[in-house]
Amino acid sequence: MAKPLEFHQAASAELESAFDWYLARDERVASRFLDEVTHAIEMITQSPQRWPVSEANVRKFVLRRFPFLIIYRDRPSMIQILAIAHGRRRAGYWKGRI
């Protein structure tokens, strides 16, 4: 059974910003981006411990077709999405959200 999901407010804003960026360029690409993020989150909620743990008990899911990472924590009662981070910008900027 999948755990409930909680998005950090800043992670929600990052997802919206990335989607808007793709949407301004190509509606189909924006749709594919959102589909890939949705699929990744479904996979995370079904099997959160599948991806390796790093510092502060944080895990990272790397999207295949887009340069983004989903940064999350597997909490006892929920999955907490900390960031939808661009893989080539400001590494670790999200650490203040832990």
* Interval 32-89: pLDDT, tens: 999 999 999 999 999 999 998 988 889 999 999 999 999 999 999 999 999 999 988 7
CATH number (3.30.2310.20, 3.40.50.1980, 3.40.50.2000, 3.40.50.720) of 5-89 reads 3.30.2310.20
Residues across the chain: 98
Please answer whether residues 74 and 48 qualify as being in contact, where contact means their C-beta atoms are separated by less than 8 angstroms. Answer: yes
91 phi and psi angles, rounded to 5 deg: -55, 130
Q: Between 62 and 91, where is the model more confident?
A: 62
pLDDT of the residue at 2: 76
Structure tokens at 30: 């924006």
Q: Does the predicted TM-score (pTM) go above 0.75?
A: yes
